[in-house]
Every structure is written in structure tokens, then in C-alpha cells.
């Protein structure tokens, strides 16, 4: 049986929801990045994780670039500022666990390398908590539907011809009956348990969100349908390992030129088809063609 990592869930909630956990005093970090469209990172200090929820090594290994954590509504302005060699650009940084932080990005060209810049990202301690709370699910501390859509939009825009992303839709089976039998408080605890198990089972580039009362979704940054299916099965098994809950799941991988609504619709249809086959089912909408149907 999968063990519930409550400590990790607490860390996720505290990091993603500064209204419950004040930001650390040191919310700044230095970095070195290449002058490409995404600002790929060659070096960044470990404090970057406190600012955006992504580990320094995941930036350095190329899993994330600076532009990936810039709020989608600020990206065009930020790219223009970078292209025009502005010494300071202020913008909103999206936290990997949900929520936003306002930062100042202060930079200068590298003297030893004209293709690179060195800079410092400074977090604003005066957070817009109303805006933050609008992007975080208050019960679980996960990202909400708005953050999920923004992350999907970002991944799909990054590579239109070969988008390396999949969306997993998960629906807790018979949550209404569970609430009726055990009470709403027990149902809320169950939702938090599922959120913790999902959060503990994903990789740094993935995103877990709560979309509705019993509905969760996971953005999977993956290069193949086979990898997405393997990750999906692992996550579903982790939830079922709690022993008192099952989920119906639907998986869809992105098509070229997809909009986020297209991918979300296919994942939802796959989940609905799986649910019609009984609790604990998995439906897969493959990369090419129509709905494949429930997976054994």
C-alpha cells in the first residue's frame, strides 16, 4: 500500500500558499542565462526554488527555462525587455505548485560572453495575496483550473509542431456517496489525501491541479505516449493504494496545433468513457486518431 507522505503535502501547501506561510526573508537569487528566446539557464542559485517552486538543477538541466516560469500574460513584455537589454524587468513568476510571486529581474550582459547575461531575481515581499488566492485551490493547496490552463497553453505554444505534453483527467469515484456515509469533513480529508499522493508522484516539470469538487488533472511533460501511459498507471496505482478510494482516469496526448481546450476536451471524454465502464477505469485517447477506449 502506498504511504501517504503528509510532510511533503504540508510543504506543498506552505510553498504554494504564502497566505498561510509568510515568504522567507531571502527571496532572491543570482543566475546566468543564454540570450535565446526562452533564456535557458546555465547557472541559478538554490533559492530559486523558494521563489518559483522549481529546483535549480531542473533549470540547469534544461527542463525549465526562465520564460517557462514567467506569467503567460507578462511574457511578451518580458521578452521585449530582454531583447532590448533592459537592466531591470518586473513581472509575475508562476509558482510550480500554484500561485504567483512578483519579482524584479535585474541583469547585465556578460563581459566574457556576449551570448549570455548574468542577473539577479528578487522576490517582492508585498505579495498580491488576493491574486494568489485566486490561483490556488484553498482546500488542497494545489493549482486551480486557471493555472492548469496557463501551463497547458505554455507547453503547447513552446512547440506547436511536436508538443511534448499530455493531460491526465482524474475523477474520484462515488465521492457523493462517500460524503453521505462518512460526512463532508471526511470527504475533504480524502480530497487532501488524493492531492498529496498525486503531488508526491509527479516529476518537477509536471503540474497537479484540482479542477472541481471531485476532479483533478495532471499536466505531464512527456515526449511519448508510452511514457505518459506509464506515468498515468503509476499515479492511479498510488491513489488506489490509499485503500479506500478509486479514481476513473482519462489520458490524452497533445496533437500538433492543439489549443488547451482541445486537449482538455479529449482527456475529459476519455475519463467519461472510463467511468462508464465502472470504478477505477482508465481511458486513453491516443496521439493520433479517435478515442481508444478503456485500457485494461
Q: What is the pLDDT of residue 9?
A: 31
Q: Examine the pLDDT at 63 and tell me if it is beyond 90.
A: no
Full strand arrangement of the beta sheet holding 88-94: 41-44, 28-34, 116-123, 100-109, 88-94
Architecture of domain 145-291: 2-Layer Sandwich (3.30)
Does the pLDDT of residue 24 top 50, yes or no? no
pLDDT band at 74; cut points 50, 70, 90: confident
Q: Cα 161 from chain centroid?
A: 22
Residue pLDDT, tens place only, 148-161: 888 888 778 766 66
Q: Which DSSP state fits 27?
A: -
Tens-place pLDDT, residues 190-227 = 999 999 999 889 887 788 999 988 999 999 988 688 89
Same fold, 23-133 and 145-291: no
Tell me 86's DSSP state: -
Query: Between vectors from CA 241 to CA 180 and to CA 58, what angle results, nearest 5°?
Result: 115
Residues in the chain, how many?
296
141: three-class secondary structure by DSSP: coil
Domain ranges of the chain: 23-133, 145-291
Q: CATH fold of 23-133, please?
A: Beta-Lactamase (3.30.450)
C-alpha Rg value of the chain to the nearest Å = 20
Fill in the DSSP letter of residue 72: G
The answer to whether the predicted template modeling score (pTM) of the entire model surpasses 0.85 is: no
pLDDT at 76: 83
Measured CA to CA, the distance from residue 58 to residue 40 in angstroms comes to: 11
Please write the tens of the pLDDT for every residue from 108-148.
888 888 889 999 998 865 544 445 445 678 888 888 888 88
pLDDT digits (tens, 9 = 90+) for 239-255: 999 999 999 999 999 98
Mean pLDDT, to the nearest integer, of 264-283?
Answer: 94
73 is written with which cell numbers? 500574460
Amino acid at each position: 500500500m502506498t504511504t501517504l507522505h503528509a510532510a511533503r503535502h504540508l510543504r506543498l501547501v506552505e510553498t504554494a500558499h504564502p497566505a498561510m506561510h509568510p515568504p522567507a526573508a531571502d527571496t532572491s537569487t543570482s543566475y546566468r542565462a543564454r540570450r535565446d528566446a526562452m533564456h535557458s539557464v546555465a547557472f541559478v542559485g538554490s533559492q530559486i526554488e523558494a521563489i518559483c517552486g522549481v529546483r535549480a538543477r531542473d533549470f540547469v538541466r534544461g527542463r525549465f527555462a526562465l520564460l517557462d516560469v514567467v506569467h503567460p500574460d507578462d511574457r511578451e513584455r518580458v521578452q521585449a525587455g530582454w531583447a532590448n537589454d533592459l537592466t531591470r524587468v518586473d513581472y509575475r513568476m508562476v509558482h510550480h505548485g500554484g500561485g504567483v510571486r512578483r519579482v524584479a529581474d535585474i541583469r547585465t550582459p556578460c563581459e566574457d560572453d556576449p551570448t549570455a547575461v548574468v542577473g539577479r531575481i528578487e522576490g517582492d515581499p508585498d505579495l498580491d495575496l488576493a491574486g494568489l488566492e485566486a490561483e490556488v485551490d484553498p482546500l488542497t493547496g494545489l493549482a486551480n483550473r486557471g493555472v492548469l490552463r496557463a501551463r497547458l497553453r505554455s507547453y503547447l505554444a513552446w512547440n506547436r509542431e511536436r508538443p511534448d505534453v499530455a493531460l491526465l483527467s482524474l475523477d474520484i469515484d462515488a465521492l457523493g456517496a462517500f460524503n453521505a456515509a462518512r460526512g463532508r469533513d471526511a470527504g475533504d480529508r480524502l480530497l487532501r489525501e488524493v492531492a498529496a499522493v498525486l503531488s508526491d508522484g509527479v516529476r518537477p516539470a509536471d503540474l497537479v491541479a484540482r479542477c472541481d469538487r471531485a476532479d483533478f488533472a495532471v499536466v505531464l511533460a512527456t515526449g511519448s505516449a508510452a511514457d505518459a501511459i506509464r506515468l498515468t498507471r503509476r499515479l492511479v496505482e498510488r491513489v488506489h493504494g490509499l485503500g479506500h478510494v478509486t479514481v476513473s482516469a482519462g489520458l490524452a496526448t497533445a496533437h500538433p496545433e492543439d489549443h488547451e481546450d482541445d486537449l482538455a476536451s479529449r482527456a475529459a471524454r476519455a475519463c467519461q468513457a472510463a467511468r462508464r465502464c465502472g470504478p477505477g477505469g482508465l481511458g486513453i485517447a491516443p496521439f493520433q486518431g479517435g478515442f481508444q477506449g478503456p485500457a485494461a
